[in-house]
A and B are shown apart, each in its own frame.
Chain A
Amino acid sequence: MSKTTKTGNFAADWWARVSAGERIVQKCNSCGSLQLHPRRRCNSCASDQLDFEAVSGDAKIYSFTEITHAAPSDFVAQMPYVLAIVRLIEGPQILSRIVNSEASELRCDMSVKWTLAPVGDRMLPCFELC
């Protein structure tokens, strides 16, 4: 089980590790709950005893939308892009992107897998169809 690095900045830690290719969620050492997005406390029992834990990367699309207009300034150049609420098979749910498919191919409940893809000038966790 991976431990958090002790920089105290859990957000920066998570981004650094997932951008390097890890597929991790937060796990509460008090109650065992898994969660995304990462937070300061366990969303279930309020404990601050949180570590990162690896997951399979398997997930389903809970819902999605293709953004074709009215993106915020930093993202105008990236349109069109597909935002999705993705639910990992282990339970946690996260806002992410679907990449490598046409939006017209996508349906709710399709199986996807965690990957890395360019978002602007960063490589971030995204999901693609299996």
Chain B
Amino acid sequence: MTRRAVITGIGEAPCGRYPDRAPLDIAISVAEQAISDSGLERKDIDTVIAAPSFADPWFNTDLGFARMVDELSLRHTTDLNCQVNAGGSTGTAILKTAISMVEAGQAEAVLCLHAEKFTTLSGQEGFDFFAKAGIERDFEAPVGMVYNAMPAFVAQRYMHETGATAEDLAEVTVSCREWAMLHPNAMFRKPLTVEEVLNSKVVASPMHSLMLNVLGDGGSAFVVTTEERAKGVQDKPVYVWSDAGTVNTYSFAQHRDLTRMNWAKVANEAYEKARIGPSDVDIVELYMAYPSFHLVLMEEMGFCARGKAGEFYRSGATRPGGSLPVSTFGEAMSYGHIGAGIGLVALVESVRQLRGDAGERQVPDASVILKTSAGGAYADAQITILGKEPR
């Protein structure tokens, strides 16, 4: 009998600045939530996969060294503990690993978890971290390369080729904020206008400061098991219909086409494998951490014609109540940037939407979700299509 893996339990911590909450506290909390939500017993978990935690290198090492097996009282019932790091694509990589292991019979129930505590870094320390992570050290760091330059390069080139404006970038930002306002765990939940975004200072032209990310503390977790095992204990499992990806580069400055980055190729492969088209997608859980990428991806993935994404966001289609909700978790800009784990948050949100448990953010009849990720310095393009029924 073919084993089919499902996502069956989720957990999440509020994202923000919590000085008294250690990353271990976050990790235990989200893991316990996910196990409980899965309906499984603690001892049913036989595999633990942790995402990286960048702010605390010793906690990060602990995650690979089975600390969570100890802290969650899973000793002797866990076959394997490991860590999987693909930067911002970590959620995708962990999901693929967990699904494969379960379907191959190498695991029965995989606990996947992430916890991050970025607020221990000062503002300048945060800039310094993101001026090293994913930036080529021998040839690019010496000229002052910074992470914010990446979406800025995309924005400049995209605006040059399509006539889009900074206002389009602001519309994306505001759309994501509207979702975060409905998300109890998001860091930034106050109303935001296009005017406020455009009046904020320019940091890396044409990116204004309110288009950028603030680092937060947070985490999330999920459990993958077989459809059989979930029966009777979790009545709303979520299925992966397809995944597709391509790895383009290490250095961002080596992308040859910043307005495409092979997203169309990856989307077409994901659609084909799932036997759907863009019009079948109910929600796009897009995580790229900056608004300029939204304009590119929505076009390349087939939701808007070339050069028309700004108009699409302006129309309200991507906002609560719109025809094609995008980033209902608020995106990194409004949810808060928690490093490698935003992709896990987007997955947790996808599961809630497909179960009908997204509260005020619930998209009516959400049945098919397209989720994106990219890791490192936008090294790759990853798409996962999820559904509430088997495909």
Binding site for B on A (CB under 8 A): 11, 15, 36-38, 62-75, 78, 81, 83, 85, 93-97, 103, 107-109, 119, 122, 124, 126
Contact = CB atoms under 8 A, between A and B. Distances in A.
19 contacts: A11-B138, A37-B138, A62-B157, A63-B156, A64-B153, A66-B204, A68-B201, A68-B203, A68-B205, A69-B201, A70-B127, A72-B132, A73-B124, A73-B128, A75-B146, A93-B253, A94-B253, A95-B143, A126-B143
Nearest to A92: B254
B143 A72 contact: no
A75 B144 contact: yes
B contact residues, range: 35 or more
Contacts of B161: 108
Nearest to B203: A69
A96 B139 CA distance: 9
Contacts of B209: 69
A116 to B, nearest CB: 12
A83 B160 contact: no
A78 B144 CA distance: 9
A65 B205 contact: yes
A67 B256 contact: no
B309 interface: no
Given A66-B202, A74-B144, A75-B144, 16 more contacts: A37-B140, A38-B139, A62-B157, A62-B258, A66-B205, A67-B148, A67-B203, A69-B204, A72-B127, A72-B144, A83-B149, A83-B153, A93-B253, A93-B254, A93-B256, A96-B143
A108 B144 contact: no
Nearest to B256: A93
A49 to B, nearest CB: 20
A124 B149 contact: no
A34 B55 CA distance: 38
A117 B154 CA distance: 26
B157 A95 contact: no
Nearest to A10: B138
Given A37-B139, A70-B203, A119 B144 contact: yes
